[in-house]
Structure 1
Amino acid sequence: ITSSDAHFTLKDAYNQIKLALEFCLQVKPLDRNILCQESGKDPVISTVMRYVCKGWPPKHTETNDEVKKFQKLLDSLSIYHGCLNHGSKVVIPQSLQSNMLDLMHIGHLGMEHLKQLARTAAYWPGTEAAIEMASRQCDSCGEHQIKPPKPAVPPWMLPDKPWSHLHMDHAINFMATLDLLEEEFANFGYPLTLVIHQLTFLKNFSAGAKNVHYTIQLLMEQQNVCLAQSFKQALRKSSLPPKRALQEFLMQYWRMSTSCGLSPSKHLMSWQVRTRIDSLLPSPTHKAQGKQSKVSSKAKMTTDSGDVTKVTKQYKTGDPVYELCYGPCHDKQSQ
């Protein structure tokens, strides 16, 4: 306790010491002497240590299955200060395995970190399985574990015709959304399937359209997350008023290509809406005019039905020409 802790009383110091003692007593003491004593009492480890010192019997003569597991590791087994070692790791007897798990589990580092720690310090047959079971049985680890990744959401099936499978959601006021829906349905008609996210909105919409026959589906949260996140981020990033920002987002969304290679406007109306970026691209009229100019510039020579090549006459402003007049009071003549 430093002198700067002016408000730190003797009672606070007592509480801190009590917490430290409780933390230390959570795990039973475990040292080298206890490990040696328990290893000598363990029937499997004591047998293995005797075999390491005096030599292993033939494999077919050993009947203990637990000892056979160590016989497969005989090249890496050794004895150091009365304890059995497997490589650089100490072999833990069965009576101390639960204590060793508690000792490694201090800090709640997670299952994989416990396995890495065990690979460098301790060993017994089935170490990783015991670590997995201990980690799953820990209430604190289970309560605060990292959420598993969300499964991939299958895409919606492409409808066979436009305006038949309609997805919708509302951001602020569902009554305003109802009015807009009635306006859109007056222009395009009622869809065959209507996919809605909110159950409350579903009840209100169903009450207002009792005589319309269509199928209603509830949209799951993970299926709505992509478009909803894009929409919300666009509104946050925009410095325009909400209604103007919404219109700009919808304009760009109508123009973007989907996984099928077509934009939403192309799917619905069979033509691409014109946005600001389309002003940089040549329009269909310009393309047609360009093709016509190329054809007219190359049409110097033509071929008639008799495979006779003829020269197409080119006229300029001011050239003298003949005119054929067909009048009621004049005979057919050329001028």
Structure 2
Amino acid sequence: MEMFVLAIIVFIAAHIGSPSSGISRFPEKLTKELYVNLITDAFETRWKAFGASTENLRTMHNVAIPGLILTKPTIVARGGLEVLGVPVVHLRDDRSVEIKFLAFLEKVRALVDMPRPSSQEEIRRFLGMTTYYSRFLPNLSSITYPLRQLLRKDSKFYWSAACESAFIRLKNELSSDRTLIPYDPSMPLLLACDASPVGISGVLSHMINGVEKPIAFASRSLTPSEQNYSQLDREALAIVFAVDHFFNYLYGRHFKLCTDNKPLTRIFHQHSKIPPMTSSRLLRYATFLSAFDYEVVFKDGESNVNADCFSRAPVNQRSSSGDISINDEVQDVCMNSINQISTEILNSDSIRKETVADVELMDIKAKIETDPELALEYTLDNGILFKGQRVIVPKILRNAVLQELHRTHIGISKMKQLARRYVYWKGIDNDIEHLSRSCEPCAKMKSSPPKAQVHPWDEPQNNWDRIHIDYAGPFQGFWFLIVMDSKSRWAEIKICRTAPTSTSTIEMLSEIFSVHGYPYVMVSDNASIFVSDQFQTFCSAKGIFQKLIAPGHPATNGLAERNVYTLKSRLKAMSEDPAPMQSKIREILFRYRMTPLANNSTPAENYLGRKVRCELDALRPLKHSKNLVYDFHARQLSVGDRVQARYFQRNSNLWKFGSVVRKLGRLHYLIRLDEQPNGVVKRHINQLRRTDVNRKSVTFNDNVEAPDNHPPTTPQGRLYEDVEFYPTHHQPQRNPDNGDNSSLQNQPVVSNQPLQPELRRSGRVRSAPNYLRDYVTS
């Protein structure tokens, strides 16, 4: 009958998180009592499963076991019973205690199950790891002596019992509490990762006073497909594996992530964007790591020997992990890209076969193994190269891929968009463009090319250097020849009732040119009127360079075309106006020339250099400009001077006496004739001469009747024919310097009231010498 002992396990580390704990994935959530009860319940449950009675259990107290103190009952059984990874305590027949599996825990399984070295290189790696933790291992030199003997040049590699004993003892030391430290949420975490061609590994440690103290080790071997990864992808896979394996320790905690691959420090940097050409596998790895709070740290290979040893001596993985799921996802994406372009000729097998035969692709496969920068862009999956999620097609299959992309005769842009989802090779865009342009059915169905950017005409140096002409019509029974000046936008329009010909066009243009002169350049369309020999001869004879626009492209002559549209719109709006067409055109031209353009100046101002007055200018008061005359010398008269004025009567020139009553400007005067005392006449200085003859006094007899044949007289009985009456109280106020512009020259004004005598200043009169009487002196 088997003998059993009941005891409870208490750890030397004195808390639940010790390396010997089989429940270290959630130590911070359990107390000692809960852990003890859990272990006890598990043993009792397993014991009852054997059909035995708990009464047959034997209690042992304070049995010394390395790493353990048995103080209370726990269940042990012959044959190595395991519960929650706790080592089985086996009771021998001689009642001695044997520990069959020391610290056989999941967290150190990578170390416990590490295969023995089979070459000097493997021994060097194992000894390198033990040296890395040498400060925690007493008598390390003595223990490693048998292994170091195998590294001698003259010794033959032979794995002896002493070597096996040293190897097991070193593993036991590394997995003991002298080396390992319990997980502490308050201490900083460090995760070291590495990858080799056969495996990947990770070491989780605490940093205590700058010293790296390990918590747990993890490793696994690579699958056949993973062994085909580039070194960059394997290093990235090691990071994802280690983070996923220690998920319960790392999630929600800040930790340092150490790798000996420098490109990965840029790709997985916590504050950097992923390079745009990163492969799909690395993109998914980076997406997975984005959920963690970490800091990427580069660690050279010589300082990363602990993780390197586990990656080169990995253990077989017992269960699926997150990194394998990500790899399966990437493989599904890659296979989906292949399936999208698969035909009878194109499939994964043919692509894999032709990839091996393609020299260019094999060169890329060789380079990504050694060039980390190149490995950022390319992914190798099942012997097929990918760039991102796009299959790199071997050269011999590229024509078939192009035909598949162009099966429904889609355009160049759509072919490129489709290709950028599935396939890639160097120069694929040029091959797509060449295939699409050489396809005859596509060429017959092509639409017009996109319009080029509008190129404005160069502005001429002077007005009328270049003109644009065009015909509008027939419209409302007329044809309209429109001529536009390119610089000033001055417009000329000529009307004809019949269909225009080259002869009539030349006549109308000649009429316009007689006013404005001949231009240097004349722009027109390709109408037969403008391309006839007669018209071209006319242009050549007048020195006019004729520019014809491209047929069917009226935008080149847009200045004339736009005004054709404007003219038709104006005439259509004025269709109810009964005015003749010539009047309408004249009014349209007048309004157009006086209306400001976009530059806030009118065509008239641009062309004539002055403002054109219109009806709206009558709203402003009229202002006369002064005539500035310099060095002006002429005879001057004063008001009251006696003069003889030329008098016109029945085609005879007479001189009559009178007096100056007003001066108009510099040369004109108002004269009251002696014979017409109630009226005045306007005369130029050239029609006046000074005299000293005084006015005669004449009396009239009111009782004498005039004869019947006597001509009409004034109210005072005097004859008048050339008399102009200017009453002083009705005379408008004029500027005396503007006498030449006065409107009183030809309009007689009759006054019913006698003129008031003008007051003269008394005093001694000073007069100039007689020979200067007819001149102005200063």
TM bin, normalised by shorter chain, reads 0.5 to 0.7
Tell me by how many angstroms 1:217 deviates.
1.5
3-state SS in 2 of match to 1:228: helix
Give CA deviations for 1:38-71 in whole Å, capped at 9, x if unaligned: 223325577757986x995546xxxxxxxxxxx8
> Could you say which residue in structure 2 is the equivalent of 1:174?
500
> Could you say which residue in structure 2 is the equivalent of 1:149?
451
User: Are 2:558 and 1:232 aligned?
Assistant: no
> Could you say which residue in structure 2 is the equivalent of 1:134?
435
Distance between the aligned counterparts of 2:588 and 2:397, measured in 1? 64
3-state SS in 2 of match to 1:31: coil
User: Are 2:390 and 1:89 aligned?
Assistant: yes
Residues 549, 557 of structure 2: 8 Å contact kept: yes
Stretches of structure 2 that go unaligned for 5 or more consecutive residues are: 1-340, 474-498, 626-638, 643-691, 696-758, 763-778
Residues 168, 194 of structure 1: 8 Å contact kept: no
The structure showing larger relative contact order (alpha-carbon pairs under 8 Å, at least 6 residues apart) is 1
Q: Percent identity?
A: 19
Task: Look up the equivalent residue of 1:266 and give its one-letter code.
Answer: E
Distance between the aligned counterparts of 2:622 and 2:442, measured in 1? 66
> Could you say which residue in structure 2 is the equivalent of 1:263?
602
Tell me by how many angstroms 1:104 deviates.
2.1
Distance between the aligned counterparts of 1:134 and 1:209, measured in 2? 49
Task: Look up the equivalent residue of 2:610 and give its one-letter code.
Answer: W
Given the two structures, how large is their TM-score scaled by the length of structure 2? Answer: 0.28
Query: Structure 1 residues 217, 33: CA separation in 2 closer, same or farther (over 3 Å shift)?
Result: closer
Distance between the aligned counterparts of 2:354 and 2:384, measured in 1? 11
Instruction: Work out which of the residue numbers 515, 520, 535 in structure 2 matches 1:193.
Output: 520
3-state SS in 2 of match to 1:267: helix
User: Are 2:609 and 1:254 aligned?
Assistant: no
Give CA deviations for 1:21-45 in whole Å, capped at 9, x if unaligned: xxxxxxxx94388322322332557
> Could you say which residue in structure 1 is the equivalent of 2:460?
158
Residues 379, 388 of structure 2: 8 Å contact kept: yes
Tell me by how many angstroms 1:207 deviates.
5.7
Query: Structure 1 residues 333, 155: CA separation in 2 closer, same or farther (over 3 Å shift)?
Result: same
Structure-to-structure mapping, 1:113-128, within 5 angstroms: 113-128=414-429
Tell me by how many angstroms 1:180 deviates.
2.7
3-state SS in 1 of match to 2:417: helix
Give CA deviations for 1:132-183 in whole Å, capped at 9, x if unaligned: 22233233444414324235435244243x4454432223433353443243
Task: Look up the equivalent residue of 2:556 and give its one-letter code.
Answer: Q
Query: Structure 1 residues 46, 325: CA separation in 2 closer, same or farther (over 3 Å shift)?
Result: closer
Query: Structure 1 residues 31, 243: CA separation in 2 closer, same or farther (over 3 Å shift)?
Result: farther
3-state SS in 2 of match to 1:34: coil
Distance between the aligned counterparts of 1:37 and 1:115, measured in 2? 25
Residues 35, 92 of structure 1: 8 Å contact kept: no
3-state SS in 1 of match to 2:347: helix
Tell me by how many angstroms 1:107 deviates.
4.1
Tell me by how many angstroms 1:79 deviates.
4.5
Task: Look up the equivalent residue of 1:333 and give its one-letter code.
Answer: R
Structure-to-structure mapping, 1:90-105, within 5 angstroms: 90-105=391-406
Instruction: Work out which of the residue numbers 330, 346, 349 in structure 2 matches 1:37.
Output: 349
3-state SS in 2 of match to 1:95: helix
Given the two structures, how large is their TM-score scaled by the length of structure 1? Answer: 0.57
* Larger radius of gyration between Structure 1 and Structure 2: 2
Structure-to-structure mapping, 1:52-63, within 5 angstroms: 56-58=368-370
3-state SS in 2 of match to 1:218: strand
Residues 165, 191 of structure 1: 8 Å contact kept: no
> Could you say which residue in structure 1 is the equivalent of 2:556?
223
Structure-to-structure mapping, 1:312-323, within 5 angstroms: none
Distance between the aligned counterparts of 1:265 and 1:182, measured in 2? 21
Residues 38, 93 of structure 1: 8 Å contact kept: no
Task: Look up the equivalent residue of 1:133 and give its one-letter code.
Answer: H
Residues 368, 374 of structure 2: 8 Å contact kept: no
> Could you say which residue in structure 2 is the equivalent of 1:214?
543
Give CA deviations for 1:256-276 in whole Å, capped at 9, x if unaligned: 556776433223322344578
Question: Which moves more between the two structures, 119-128 or 151-160?
Answer: 151-160
Query: Structure 1 residues 99, 217: CA separation in 2 closer, same or farther (over 3 Å shift)?
Result: same
Task: Look up the equivalent residue of 2:347 and give its one-letter code.
Answer: L
- Structure ranking higher in strand proportion: 2
User: Are 2:760 and 1:333 aligned?
Assistant: yes
- Structure ranking higher in helix proportion: 1
Task: Look up the equivalent residue of 1:42 and give its one-letter code.
Answer: E
Residues 369, 375 of structure 2: 8 Å contact kept: no
Distance between the aligned counterparts of 2:466 and 2:414, measured in 1? 49
Distance between the aligned counterparts of 1:76 and 1:166, measured in 2? 61
Stretches of structure 1 that go unaligned for 5 or more consecutive residues are: 1-28, 60-70, 292-323
Tell me by how many angstroms 1:121 deviates.
1.7
Query: Structure 1 residues 33, 185: CA separation in 2 closer, same or farther (over 3 Å shift)?
Result: closer
3-state SS in 2 of match to 1:333: coil
Distance between the aligned counterparts of 2:539 and 2:392, measured in 1? 74
Residues 355, 394 of structure 2: 8 Å contact kept: no
Tell me by how many angstroms 1:285 deviates.
5.3
Report the number of matched residues. 256
Tell me by how many angstroms 1:89 deviates.
1.7
Residues 384, 391 of structure 2: 8 Å contact kept: yes
Distance between the aligned counterparts of 2:519 and 2:385, measured in 1? 74
Residues 392, 425 of structure 2: 8 Å contact kept: yes
Give CA deviations for 1:222-249 in whole Å, capped at 9, x if unaligned: 5313430452365268344495886676
Residues 168, 195 of structure 1: 8 Å contact kept: yes
